[in-house]
Homo-oligomer: A and B are copies of this chain.
């Protein structure tokens, strides 16, 4: 189906795509199989004049909702300057969580109180191969101010190394691979922690996922185009199974096929000793121009439906991805900000883990969605409301001036 990838596997791993084996050097994978996706920037909504939803009658910022009677969103986070201001809109009836535009003195205070910022990437720092205007400068000033910057992404089609190169290429402050927490890396870490020594993974995914598994010392088979014997399901149902497999890992897989789904099910039918792990549940990867392609969540659902059990998810909103960060660095959640463009992944994960959450409007989610969650009585929806929002992280620049 993709001859270039087939030959890539043959070259890199010295065998067919489904052969077990670890290459001598787990270097950076070629990115032929990576997906160049761009987050939708709903310009009409993201660039709405601030006065409509973001400003009070006095021209100062106001929240689009406020937690009635609670004052700051999180009493332990704010430091100075967090008392509710005139002009804030209270969610009196529902006790809704408030969400304020982050600017002015509030922005200075919030940033001064933070040691660490976790950034989602697509839709927050860049779209496709273009850095968002002002984003490299904002991160440069944060780094210069001594903040720890980490990158937390559900995308499983790039390695840690690939992300550091992209950050450098787009003009962001230099990052080390250990500051990048992609779902491919975190999935490999989870399997390393969970699988018995020598156990292998059957993988629905691409070269980046394979490379992170190799870096973690997890034998694997499956990435790339399916290479199953025979032309029909009845043949696939007889394909050999690797005895060492103790996990099925589902990531982004452009070669996902019924044949692979068959093989995944057959491993999972071995019983609960065979883990089912998914990198993330994102339904779609939006493309520039309003289009979209199916996300890993579709593939995870297909495997879960066949296996009749739920996958362990490592990506946002799972707290496992934050646990990975916290295990590598000395993280104080009360002094950490999660910056993202999606309520159901970035913001939910940040809120779940007790971080300060900041929504940027350069990506998927909108203030209308925030308001809908605020106005709901449902605790699950309230947990999707960020503490703060900005149109773009470039809006943080004034608060970072000396």
| Residue ranges of A at the interface with B (Cβ–Cβ < 8 Å) | 1-5, 32-33, 35-37, 231-234, 236-237, 253-259, 261-262, 265-266, 269, 283-284, 287, 291-295, 297-299, 301-306, 308
Docked Cα-Cα span, A287 to B301, in Å, equals 22
Query: Smallest CB–CB gap between A209 and chain B, Å?
Result: 14
Residues B256 and A258 in contact, CB atoms below 8 Å apart: yes
Most buried by B among A1, A253, A262, A295: A1
Q: Which of A35, A237, A254, A305 has the most CB of B within 10 A?
A: A305
Are the CB atoms of B231 and A4 closer together than 8 Å?
Answer: yes
Complex-state Cα separation, A305 to B37, whole angstroms: 19
Nearest-CB distance from A276 to chain B (Å)? 13
> By the criterion CB–CB under 8 Å, are B269 and A233 in contact?
no
Query: How close is A222's CB to chain B, nearest CB, in angstroms?
Result: 14
- Knowing A265-B284, A302-B299, A302-B302, say if A294 contacts B258 (CB, 8 Å): yes
CB contacts (< 8 Å) of A257 on chain B: these are 1, 255-258
Task: State whether A2 and B232 are in contact (beta carbons under 8 Å apart), knowing that A257-B256, A257-B257, A257-B258 are contacts in the complex.
Answer: yes
Q: In the complex, which of the residues B33, B261, B287 contacts A237, with contact meaning CB atoms closer than 8 Å?
A: B287
Q: Are B298 and A233 in contact (CB under 8 A)?
A: no
Complex contact B291–A261 (CB within 8 A): no
In the bound assembly, the distance between CA atoms of A5 and B233 in angstroms comes to: 13
A3 contact set on B, CB distance < 8 A: 231
Nearest CB on B from A305, distance (A): 4
Query: Which chain B residues border A266 with CB–CB below 8 Å?
Result: 291
A234 CA to B33 CA, complexed, in Å? 10
> Does B294 contact A232, Cβ atoms closer than 8 Å?
no
Contacts of A232 in B (CB 8 A): 2, 32-33, 35, 254
A305 CA to B293 CA, complexed, in Å:
12
A298 is contacted by which of B254, B283, B302 (Cβ under 8 Å)?
B302
Closest 5 CB pairs of A and B: A294-B306, A302-B302, A256-B258, A298-B305, A2-B231
Known: A2-B232, A232-B35. A301 touches B293 (CB 8 A): no
Complex partner residue of A265 from B36, B265, B292, CB under 8 angstroms:
B292
Instruction: With CB as the reference atom, state the residue of chain B lying closest to A3.
Output: B231
Give CA–CA (A344, B265) in the complex, Å: 21
A293→B269 CA distance, assembly (Å): 10
